[in-house]
Amino acid sequence: MKRTIFLVILFTVVLPVSLRAGETLPGRDTLSGRDTLPGRDSLPDWRFALRSNALVPGLNAGVQFAAGRHLSLAADWYYPWFWPARRNLRCTELLGLGLELRYWFRDGLDPAVRWTGHSLAFGMMAGYYDFERRGSGIQGEYALAAVDYGYSFSLWEEGFRLMLCIGVGWLHTRYRPYQVHEPYGQLFRTGDWTETLDWVGPVRAEVSLIIPFRLKYKKEVQP
């Protein structure tokens, strides 16, 4: 019984004190856990990154900014456009601009772990599309709002991140079906001039490479 009481005291008192001691050793920053010894007073830091979604073919690019230790803001521009020279009877064109606010569960004070781990985001996107195949196509405008879950990890320490996301939400589009009756001919509408579609469900998927831009900042070492 006395041995049991001794072990309880050991793990409830001595162990927490020893863990705290590791955070306050001389030459350690208690906030980030980095060395602050002479010669280490200049460390890489970054608050800005470029990103690109590998699931979107063609041209797409985005920027991401830190808005706090747990928040980031991002803007994405999508423009996959394929128009093979086949008598103008096939077209794949999509233009979109998106905005995103993301909450990261991991504290982003330390650049080594910033924008890694689990996250939740709310995003919106709007744009234009034109899809045609064998002379039959649709043109339209769309807008969507989504909530997504993401997970990001470092490809190497303080280097690029790879972010995986899946989102559900609401998509609204207005579109116009058309026909092209001859090569290089004019577009002729079919059916109603404007039709609408609303969809609730999966609307977003992302496998993005995040490329940080680093700056240097000075850390003052207390004497």
Give the CATH number, domain containing residue 102: 2.40.160
pTM: 0.70
Average pLDDT over every residue of 113-130: 94
Task: Please report whether residue 121 resides in a domain.
Answer: yes
The total of other beta-carbon atoms located within 10 Å of residue 96's CB is 19
How far, CA to CA in Å, does 112 sit from each of 2, 33, 120, 196, 215?
A: 45, 11, 20, 46, 14
Residues 148 and 123: their CA atoms lie apart, in Å, by: 8
Q: For residue 196, what are its two tokens?
A: 């609408």
CB 68 within 8 A of CB 107: no
Task: Please report whether residue 42 resides in a domain.
Answer: no
Average pLDDT over every residue of 37-59: 71
Task: Please report whether residue 14 resides in a domain.
Answer: no
Task: Please report whether residue 152 resides in a domain.
Answer: yes
Most confident listed range (74-78, 90-94, 107-111): 74-78
Q: Is 51 helix (H, G, I), strand (E, B) or coil?
A: strand
Q: To 5 degrees, how large is the angle CA 123–CA 126–CA 127?
A: 145
What local confidence, expressed as pLDDT, does residue 39 receive?
41
Residues 42 and 46: their CA atoms lie apart, in Å, by: 13
Residues 44 and 170: their CA atoms lie apart, in Å, by: 40
Domain coverage including residue 172: 48-218
Tally of structural domains, the chain: 1
Q: What number of helices (H) and strands (E) belong to the chain?
A: 2, 10
Task: Please report whether residue 33 resides in a domain.
Answer: no
Residues 223 and 39: their CA atoms lie apart, in Å, by: 14
What local confidence, expressed as pLDDT, does residue 113 receive?
87
Task: Please report whether residue 141 resides in a domain.
Answer: yes
Task: Please report whether residue 76 resides in a domain.
Answer: yes
